[in-house]
Structure 1
Amino acid sequence: MIIKELNGVKPVFGSDCFIAENAVIIGQVTMGNQCSIWYNAVIRGDVHYIKMGNKVNVQDGAVIHATYKKSPTNIGNNVSIGHNAMVHGCTINDDVLVGMGAIIMDDCIVESNTIIAAGAVVTKGTHIKSGSVYAGIPAKKVKGISEELVSGEIHRIADNYVKYANWYK
Protein backbone atom coordinates (compact mmCIF):
# COMPACT_ATOMS: atom_id res chain seq x y z
CA MET A 1 0.00 0.00 0.00
CA ILE A 2 1.09 3.56 -0.56
CA ILE A 3 0.11 5.86 2.27
CA LYS A 4 1.75 9.17 1.57
CA GLU A 5 2.09 12.36 3.54
CA LEU A 6 1.84 15.41 1.30
CA ASN A 7 2.53 19.03 2.23
CA GLY A 8 2.83 18.00 5.87
CA VAL A 9 -0.57 16.25 5.99
CA LYS A 10 -0.89 12.50 6.57
CA PRO A 11 -3.98 10.36 6.04
CA VAL A 12 -5.83 9.54 9.29
CA PHE A 13 -7.51 6.18 9.80
CA GLY A 14 -10.16 5.01 12.24
CA SER A 15 -9.98 1.65 13.99
CA ASP A 16 -10.43 -1.76 12.40
CA CYS A 17 -9.77 -0.62 8.79
CA PHE A 18 -8.42 -2.78 5.97
CA ILE A 19 -6.21 -1.31 3.27
CA ALA A 20 -5.13 -3.56 0.39
CA GLU A 21 -1.45 -3.86 -0.39
CA ASN A 22 -1.67 -1.86 -3.63
CA ALA A 23 -4.19 0.79 -2.58
CA VAL A 24 -3.00 4.41 -2.68
CA ILE A 25 -4.05 6.99 -0.06
CA ILE A 26 -2.46 10.44 -0.18
CA GLY A 27 -2.68 13.65 1.87
CA GLN A 28 -5.82 15.10 3.44
CA VAL A 29 -7.79 11.88 3.84
CA THR A 30 -9.71 11.04 7.01
CA MET A 31 -11.64 7.83 7.39
CA GLY A 32 -13.79 6.43 10.16
CA ASN A 33 -13.93 2.95 11.66
CA GLN A 34 -14.39 -0.35 9.81
CA CYS A 35 -13.54 1.10 6.41
CA SER A 36 -12.01 -0.98 3.66
CA ILE A 37 -9.95 0.23 0.74
CA TRP A 38 -9.54 -2.50 -1.87
CA TYR A 39 -7.05 -3.40 -4.59
CA ASN A 40 -5.96 -0.63 -6.96
CA ALA A 41 -8.23 1.93 -5.29
CA VAL A 42 -6.86 5.48 -5.19
CA ILE A 43 -7.91 8.12 -2.65
CA ARG A 44 -6.04 11.31 -3.47
CA GLY A 45 -6.42 14.10 -0.92
CA ASP A 46 -3.78 16.27 -2.58
CA VAL A 47 -5.83 19.24 -3.80
CA HIS A 48 -8.62 19.28 -1.18
CA TYR A 49 -9.75 17.13 1.74
CA ILE A 50 -11.54 13.80 1.54
CA LYS A 51 -13.55 12.75 4.59
CA MET A 52 -15.14 9.33 4.97
CA GLY A 53 -17.41 8.08 7.76
CA ASN A 54 -17.66 4.60 9.27
CA LYS A 55 -18.19 1.38 7.30
CA VAL A 56 -17.20 2.86 3.95
CA ASN A 57 -15.87 0.42 1.38
CA VAL A 58 -13.97 1.64 -1.65
CA GLN A 59 -13.86 -1.31 -4.00
CA ASP A 60 -11.22 -2.39 -6.49
CA GLY A 61 -10.10 0.26 -8.96
CA ALA A 62 -12.29 3.05 -7.57
CA VAL A 63 -10.95 6.61 -7.51
CA ILE A 64 -11.86 9.32 -4.99
CA HIS A 65 -10.54 12.82 -5.63
CA ALA A 66 -11.56 16.49 -5.29
CA THR A 67 -11.17 19.83 -7.07
CA TYR A 68 -8.36 22.18 -6.09
CA LYS A 69 -9.45 24.59 -3.33
CA LYS A 70 -13.05 24.34 -4.51
CA SER A 71 -14.84 21.02 -4.08
CA PRO A 72 -13.87 18.60 -1.28
CA THR A 73 -15.28 15.09 -1.05
CA ASN A 74 -17.44 14.10 1.94
CA ILE A 75 -18.69 10.54 2.30
CA GLY A 76 -21.04 9.47 5.11
CA ASN A 77 -21.49 6.15 6.93
CA ASN A 78 -22.43 2.78 5.38
CA VAL A 79 -21.38 3.78 1.89
CA SER A 80 -20.26 1.29 -0.75
CA ILE A 81 -18.32 2.63 -3.71
CA GLY A 82 -18.36 -0.06 -6.39
CA HIS A 83 -15.53 -1.39 -8.50
CA ASN A 84 -14.04 1.21 -10.88
CA ALA A 85 -16.39 3.98 -9.72
CA MET A 86 -15.20 7.59 -9.65
CA VAL A 87 -16.27 9.96 -6.87
CA HIS A 88 -15.04 13.52 -7.41
CA GLY A 89 -15.57 16.66 -5.32
CA CYS A 90 -19.04 15.76 -4.07
CA THR A 91 -21.04 14.89 -0.97
CA ILE A 92 -22.44 11.42 -0.43
CA ASN A 93 -24.56 11.06 2.69
CA ASP A 94 -25.20 7.92 4.78
CA ASP A 95 -26.50 4.60 3.43
CA VAL A 96 -25.63 4.98 -0.24
CA LEU A 97 -24.60 2.40 -2.83
CA VAL A 98 -22.54 3.70 -5.75
CA GLY A 99 -22.62 1.03 -8.44
CA MET A 100 -19.71 -0.34 -10.42
CA GLY A 101 -18.28 2.12 -12.93
CA ALA A 102 -20.53 4.98 -11.82
CA ILE A 103 -19.20 8.55 -11.92
CA ILE A 104 -20.30 11.26 -9.50
CA MET A 105 -18.93 14.69 -10.43
CA ASP A 106 -18.15 17.93 -8.61
CA ASP A 107 -20.66 19.66 -6.34
CA CYS A 108 -23.20 16.83 -6.45
CA ILE A 109 -25.13 15.96 -3.32
CA VAL A 110 -26.34 12.40 -2.91
CA GLU A 111 -28.80 12.18 -0.03
CA SER A 112 -29.17 9.12 2.22
CA ASN A 113 -30.87 5.85 1.24
CA THR A 114 -29.94 6.15 -2.40
CA ILE A 115 -28.55 3.88 -5.11
CA ILE A 116 -26.51 5.18 -8.03
CA ALA A 117 -26.74 2.39 -10.61
CA ALA A 118 -23.74 0.78 -12.25
CA GLY A 119 -22.40 2.92 -15.10
CA ALA A 120 -24.46 5.98 -14.19
CA VAL A 121 -22.94 9.44 -14.72
CA VAL A 122 -24.13 12.01 -12.19
CA THR A 123 -23.27 15.34 -13.78
CA LYS A 124 -21.84 18.36 -11.98
CA GLY A 125 -24.11 19.97 -9.40
CA THR A 126 -26.86 17.32 -9.45
CA HIS A 127 -28.83 17.03 -6.19
CA ILE A 128 -30.11 13.49 -5.68
CA LYS A 129 -32.97 13.29 -3.20
CA SER A 130 -33.20 10.62 -0.51
CA GLY A 131 -34.89 7.38 -1.40
CA SER A 132 -34.04 7.32 -5.10
CA VAL A 133 -32.44 5.02 -7.63
CA TYR A 134 -30.57 6.97 -10.32
CA ALA A 135 -29.33 5.40 -13.56
CA GLY A 136 -28.16 6.34 -17.05
CA ILE A 137 -26.06 8.99 -18.75
CA PRO A 138 -26.75 11.58 -17.54
CA ALA A 139 -28.18 9.93 -14.43
CA LYS A 140 -31.91 10.39 -13.89
CA LYS A 141 -34.27 9.07 -11.25
CA VAL A 142 -35.63 5.74 -12.44
CA LYS A 143 -37.59 4.76 -9.34
CA GLY A 144 -38.05 5.24 -5.63
CA ILE A 145 -36.22 2.96 -3.25
CA SER A 146 -37.97 0.35 -1.16
CA GLU A 147 -37.02 -0.71 2.35
CA GLU A 148 -36.07 -4.05 0.78
CA LEU A 149 -33.41 -2.30 -1.34
CA VAL A 150 -32.14 -0.33 1.65
CA SER A 151 -31.74 -3.41 3.85
CA GLY A 152 -31.20 -5.99 1.11
CA GLU A 153 -28.65 -4.06 -0.93
CA ILE A 154 -27.27 -0.91 0.74
CA HIS A 155 -26.90 -2.33 4.27
CA ARG A 156 -26.11 -5.87 3.13
CA ILE A 157 -23.21 -4.77 0.92
CA ALA A 158 -21.75 -2.41 3.54
CA ASP A 159 -21.96 -5.16 6.17
CA ASN A 160 -20.52 -7.78 3.82
CA TYR A 161 -17.48 -5.61 3.10
CA VAL A 162 -16.76 -5.40 6.83
CA LYS A 163 -16.89 -9.21 6.86
CA TYR A 164 -14.71 -9.55 3.73
CA ALA A 165 -12.12 -7.14 5.17
CA ASN A 166 -11.83 -9.34 8.25
CA TRP A 167 -10.84 -12.27 6.04
CA TYR A 168 -7.77 -10.29 4.94
CA LYS A 169 -6.61 -9.12 8.36
Structure 2
Amino acid sequence: MGGIAATLVGVVAGGVVGRRGQNRQWLQESRTAAYEKFLQAFGAVEMELREAFVDRRVPAVDWEPFNASLQSISLVASQDAMTAVNQICDVIEEFTILFHGRQPTDLEELRPIHTELCEAHVRFVNAARRSLDPLQENLIRTQGGPSPWHGVESVWARGERRPGRV
Protein backbone atom coordinates (compact mmCIF):
# COMPACT_ATOMS: atom_id res chain seq x y z
CA MET A 1 0.00 0.00 0.00
CA GLY A 2 2.85 2.39 0.85
CA GLY A 3 4.43 1.78 -2.54
CA ILE A 4 1.22 2.76 -4.34
CA ALA A 5 0.88 5.95 -2.30
CA ALA A 6 4.51 6.88 -2.96
CA THR A 7 4.00 6.27 -6.67
CA LEU A 8 0.86 8.43 -6.73
CA VAL A 9 2.60 11.24 -4.83
CA GLY A 10 5.50 11.01 -7.27
CA VAL A 11 3.19 11.19 -10.30
CA VAL A 12 1.27 14.17 -8.89
CA ALA A 13 4.46 16.00 -7.88
CA GLY A 14 6.00 15.29 -11.29
CA GLY A 15 2.89 16.65 -12.99
CA VAL A 16 2.97 19.83 -10.92
CA VAL A 17 6.68 20.38 -11.56
CA GLY A 18 6.24 19.62 -15.26
CA ARG A 19 3.31 22.01 -15.53
CA ARG A 20 5.27 24.80 -13.83
CA GLY A 21 8.16 24.24 -16.21
CA GLN A 22 5.80 24.43 -19.19
CA ASN A 23 4.24 27.64 -17.84
CA ARG A 24 7.66 29.22 -17.34
CA GLN A 25 8.69 28.21 -20.86
CA TRP A 26 5.47 29.66 -22.30
CA LEU A 27 5.99 32.92 -20.39
CA GLN A 28 9.61 33.15 -21.52
CA GLU A 29 8.66 32.63 -25.17
CA SER A 30 5.70 35.00 -24.94
CA ARG A 31 7.77 37.71 -23.29
CA THR A 32 10.50 37.39 -25.89
CA ALA A 33 7.97 37.72 -28.72
CA ALA A 34 6.18 40.67 -27.08
CA TYR A 35 9.46 42.47 -26.34
CA GLU A 36 10.61 41.98 -29.94
CA LYS A 37 7.28 43.20 -31.30
CA PHE A 38 7.40 46.28 -29.06
CA LEU A 39 10.98 47.15 -30.01
CA GLN A 40 10.15 46.88 -33.71
CA ALA A 41 7.03 49.04 -33.37
CA PHE A 42 8.82 51.58 -31.16
CA GLY A 43 11.67 51.77 -33.66
CA ALA A 44 9.28 52.50 -36.52
CA VAL A 45 7.47 55.25 -34.54
CA GLU A 46 10.67 56.83 -33.27
CA MET A 47 12.28 56.83 -36.72
CA GLU A 48 9.23 58.40 -38.37
CA LEU A 49 8.96 61.13 -35.74
CA ARG A 50 12.70 61.87 -35.91
CA GLU A 51 12.77 61.88 -39.71
CA ALA A 52 9.71 64.14 -39.84
CA PHE A 53 11.38 66.53 -37.39
CA VAL A 54 14.66 66.60 -39.32
CA ASP A 55 12.84 66.86 -42.68
CA ARG A 56 10.63 69.62 -41.25
CA ARG A 57 7.40 67.87 -42.22
CA VAL A 58 4.32 66.49 -40.51
CA PRO A 59 4.90 62.89 -39.34
CA ALA A 60 2.95 60.04 -40.87
CA VAL A 61 3.08 57.55 -38.00
CA ASP A 62 1.29 54.23 -38.35
CA TRP A 63 0.12 53.87 -34.76
CA GLU A 64 -1.66 50.54 -35.19
CA PRO A 65 1.42 48.27 -34.84
CA PHE A 66 2.68 50.32 -31.88
CA ASN A 67 -0.66 50.09 -30.07
CA ALA A 68 -0.95 46.38 -30.86
CA SER A 69 2.51 45.81 -29.42
CA LEU A 70 1.47 47.62 -26.24
CA GLN A 71 -1.50 45.31 -25.87
CA SER A 72 0.71 42.24 -26.30
CA ILE A 73 3.38 43.44 -23.92
CA SER A 74 0.78 44.28 -21.26
CA LEU A 75 -0.09 40.58 -21.02
CA VAL A 76 3.35 39.23 -20.21
CA ALA A 77 5.91 41.93 -19.35
CA SER A 78 7.58 42.13 -15.97
CA GLN A 79 6.75 45.13 -13.78
CA ASP A 80 10.15 46.71 -14.51
CA ALA A 81 9.69 46.26 -18.24
CA MET A 82 6.20 47.79 -18.08
CA THR A 83 7.54 50.78 -16.14
CA ALA A 84 10.13 51.30 -18.87
CA VAL A 85 7.47 50.93 -21.60
CA ASN A 86 5.38 53.58 -19.88
CA GLN A 87 8.38 55.91 -19.81
CA ILE A 88 8.92 55.38 -23.53
CA CYS A 89 5.24 56.10 -24.20
CA ASP A 90 5.41 59.31 -22.15
CA VAL A 91 8.40 60.54 -24.15
CA ILE A 92 6.81 59.54 -27.47
CA GLU A 93 3.81 61.64 -26.46
CA GLU A 94 6.10 64.60 -25.68
CA PHE A 95 7.66 64.13 -29.11
CA THR A 96 4.30 64.15 -30.90
CA ILE A 97 3.27 67.30 -29.00
CA LEU A 98 6.10 69.15 -30.75
CA PHE A 99 4.10 68.83 -33.96
CA HIS A 100 0.73 70.03 -32.62
CA GLY A 101 -0.37 73.06 -34.55
CA ARG A 102 3.07 73.90 -35.92
CA GLN A 103 6.13 72.55 -37.59
CA PRO A 104 9.11 72.31 -35.21
CA THR A 105 12.06 74.39 -36.30
CA ASP A 106 14.43 74.34 -33.34
CA LEU A 107 16.75 71.38 -32.93
CA GLU A 108 17.18 72.25 -29.25
CA GLU A 109 13.51 71.30 -28.75
CA LEU A 110 14.40 67.79 -29.79
CA ARG A 111 17.55 67.36 -27.67
CA PRO A 112 15.87 66.64 -24.27
CA ILE A 113 13.28 64.38 -25.89
CA HIS A 114 15.97 62.50 -27.80
CA THR A 115 18.01 62.10 -24.61
CA GLU A 116 14.98 60.79 -22.69
CA LEU A 117 14.12 58.38 -25.51
CA CYS A 118 17.67 56.99 -25.56
CA GLU A 119 17.66 56.55 -21.77
CA ALA A 120 14.17 55.01 -21.73
CA HIS A 121 15.14 52.64 -24.55
CA VAL A 122 18.18 51.37 -22.62
CA ARG A 123 16.07 51.02 -19.44
CA PHE A 124 13.50 48.96 -21.34
CA VAL A 125 16.08 46.71 -22.98
CA ASN A 126 17.78 46.09 -19.64
CA ALA A 127 14.49 45.39 -17.86
CA ALA A 128 13.44 43.02 -20.66
CA ARG A 129 16.80 41.23 -20.56
CA ARG A 130 16.55 40.78 -16.78
CA SER A 131 12.99 39.47 -17.02
CA LEU A 132 14.15 36.86 -19.53
CA ASP A 133 17.27 35.95 -17.55
CA PRO A 134 18.12 37.59 -14.22
CA LEU A 135 21.80 36.91 -14.85
CA GLN A 136 21.89 39.18 -17.90
CA GLU A 137 24.19 42.14 -17.46
CA ASN A 138 22.89 45.67 -17.95
CA LEU A 139 23.85 47.32 -21.19
CA ILE A 140 25.16 50.87 -21.21
CA ARG A 141 24.19 51.39 -24.84
CA THR A 142 21.99 49.38 -27.16
CA GLN A 143 22.03 48.74 -30.87
CA GLY A 144 19.05 50.07 -32.73
CA GLY A 145 16.64 52.51 -31.19
CA PRO A 146 17.23 56.26 -31.29
CA SER A 147 20.27 57.21 -33.35
CA PRO A 148 23.25 58.95 -31.75
CA TRP A 149 22.62 62.66 -31.19
CA HIS A 150 25.63 63.69 -33.30
CA GLY A 151 23.97 62.02 -36.30
CA VAL A 152 20.73 63.95 -35.78
CA GLU A 153 22.68 67.20 -35.40
CA SER A 154 24.77 66.66 -38.52
CA VAL A 155 21.77 65.91 -40.75
CA TRP A 156 19.90 68.90 -39.30
CA ALA A 157 22.88 71.22 -39.77
CA ARG A 158 23.25 70.24 -43.41
CA GLY A 159 19.53 70.81 -43.95
CA GLU A 160 19.37 67.51 -45.80
CA ARG A 161 16.16 65.91 -46.80
CA ARG A 162 16.30 62.28 -47.69
CA PRO A 163 15.25 61.20 -51.19
CA GLY A 164 11.55 60.66 -51.54
CA ARG A 165 10.74 63.08 -48.70
CA VAL A 166 8.86 66.31 -49.24
**TM-score between both structures, scaled by the size of structure 1:** 0.25
More helix by share: 2
The higher-RCO structure (CA 8 Å, 6+ apart) is 2
More strand by share: 1
Q: Which protein shows a greater Rg?
A: 2
**TM-score between both structures, scaled by the size of structure 2:** 0.26
